[in-house]
């Protein structure tokens, strides 16, 4: 029974963590493209993060995600050119707190007491990663993935690397797209 209770708590915590995720993904691709012809890729930067550590972390995460999907990275001349664009932004979040008490009025609640409401405004940093896969021979974009998420400002380098790997892995989860007949 104790093991069941512990497992239930762990599963519940994981479900809660997944529900709280702020990661937003979207993918689009050219349905006429035969993705099976692509075997290699080269990484390039459109607009890179201003932080060289973050840029290196992003490259490592993208490479791992794409290699796990069956392609091989080459320094130049890949079948696909993978171009990453990174942009910082922010979201405004309003947090409202109600607190206070009510009093007793004979046979019912209400009326007497004090109720206070406080609203705070918070700017939350966000990052948007756009990854384009371009056919190197034709110069035509064949796939685009976009990931947007809140940026944590209270983590360790290991936390940031883990988050970068998770985002890249989710972005490329269905790459290359399956061919429909």
Confidence of residue 132 (pLDDT cuts 50, 70, 90): very high
Average pLDDT over residues 149-170: 88
Taking Cα atoms as reference points, which of 147, 121, 107 lies closest to residue 26? 147
> d(Cα 62, Cα 68) in Å, to the nearest integer?
10
Q: What is the pTM of this model?
A: 0.71
Q: In what order do the strands lie in the sheet with 141-150?
A: 24-29, 141-150, 108-135, 80-105, 40-45, 72-73
What is the chain's alpha carbon radius of gyration, rounded to the nearest angstrom?
24
Confidence of residue 165 (pLDDT cuts 50, 70, 90): very high
> d(Cα 25, Cα 46) in Å, to the nearest integer?
19
pLDDT digits (tens, 9 = 90+) for 18-75: 344 689 999 999 999 999 999 999 999 998 777 888 889 999 999 999 999 999 999 9
Task: Considering only residues 112 and 167, tell me which one the structure prediction assigns the higher pLDDT.
Answer: 167
Quick one: pLDDT at residue 103?
A: 58
Confidence of residue 179 (pLDDT cuts 50, 70, 90): low
Helix (H, G, I), strand (E, B) or coil at 114: strand
Residue 50 CB coordination number (10 Å): 9
Confidence of residue 14 (pLDDT cuts 50, 70, 90): very low
Domain 22-86+126-175: which CATH class? alpha beta
Quick one: pLDDT at residue 8?
A: 33
Domain-by-domain residue ranges, the chain?
A: 22-86+126-175
Burial class (CB within 10 angstroms; exposed 0-12, middle 13-18, buried 19+) of 178: exposed
């Amino acid at each position: 029974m104790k093991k069941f209770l512990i497992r239930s708590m762990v599963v519940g915590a994981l479900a809660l963590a997944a529900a709280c995720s702020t990661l937003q993904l979207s993918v689009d691709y050219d349905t006429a493209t035969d993705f099976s012809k692509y075997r290699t890729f080269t990484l390039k930067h459109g607009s890179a993060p201003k932080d060289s550590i973050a840029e290196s972390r992003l490259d490592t995460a993208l490479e791992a995600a794409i290699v796990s999907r069956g392609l091989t990275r080459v320094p130049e001349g890949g079948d696909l050119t993978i171009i990453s664009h990174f942009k910082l932004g922010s979201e405004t979040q309003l947090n409202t707190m109600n607190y206070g008490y009510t009093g007793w009025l004979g046979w019912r609640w209400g009326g007497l007491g004090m109720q206070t409401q406080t609203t705070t405004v918070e700017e939350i940093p966000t990052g948007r990663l756009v990854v384009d896969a371009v056919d190197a021979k034709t110069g035509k974009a064949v796939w685009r993935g976009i990931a947007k998420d809140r940026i944590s400002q209270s983590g360790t380098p290991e936390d940031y690397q883990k988050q970068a790997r998770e985002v890249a892995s989710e972005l490329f989860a269905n790459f290359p797209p399956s061919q429909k007949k």
